[in-house]
Amino acid sequence: MARISIDDAVLDISGGEPRLLGSRCRACGTHTFPVQSGCVRCSGDDMETVRLGTRGELWAWTVQAFPPKAPPYLGDTDRSTFEPYGVGYVQLPEVRVEARLTEARPEHLKNGMEMELALVPLATDDDGNEIVTFAFAPSGGAT
Ligand SMILES: [Zn+2]
């Protein structure tokens, strides 16, 4: 059994440390997430793919309390076993990223808190491989 990224173009788990992939505009330095072929600021198309930082500040968040529509959602859609999860925007050094959060309890989430990239299992494919997606976890334990 192997661990497989939900999307190699978004989440690179090939190295020792998982990293999100984004784009950087060679003309003006603007970053995007996910990878884009054009720059949102200067409309240039000279973009390079870069590995984004793994730590940032929680900017805004909410809790997903019921299963999203499947497809495209690959996780558990059974309302009796579905576990709520947090969703938020994390301000990385380069760009703000929308992501799942490992923490779903509102009393443990606060705007401005430090977050770090984490992998969470999402599903198992027909070959028994574990499909993982990215999330952000509060860093340094409880606040
Ligand atoms: Zn640009």
Question: What's the CA-to-centroid distance between 9 and ligand 1, angstroms?
Answer: 20
Q: Please write the tens of the pLDDT for every residue from 54-93.
A: 999 999 999 999 998 888 887 788 989 998 999 999 999 9
Tell me how far the alpha carbon of residue 29 lies from the centroid of ligand 1, in angstroms: 6
Residue 19 Cα to ligand 1 midpoint, Å, equals 22
Quick one: pLDDT band at residue 1, thresholds 50, 70, 90?
A: confident
pLDDT at 141: 53
Q: How far, in Å, from the CA of 34 to the mean position of ligand 1?
A: 15
Residue partners of 71: CB distance under 8 A and separation at least 6: none
pLDDT at 142 (0 to 100): 45
Ligand 1 midpoint to CA 42 (Å) = 4
Q: Residues 18, 20, 26, 30: is their CA dihedral positive or negative?
A: negative
Domain residues of the chain, as ranges?
Answer: 3-138
Indicate whether 94 pLDDT > 60.
Answer: yes
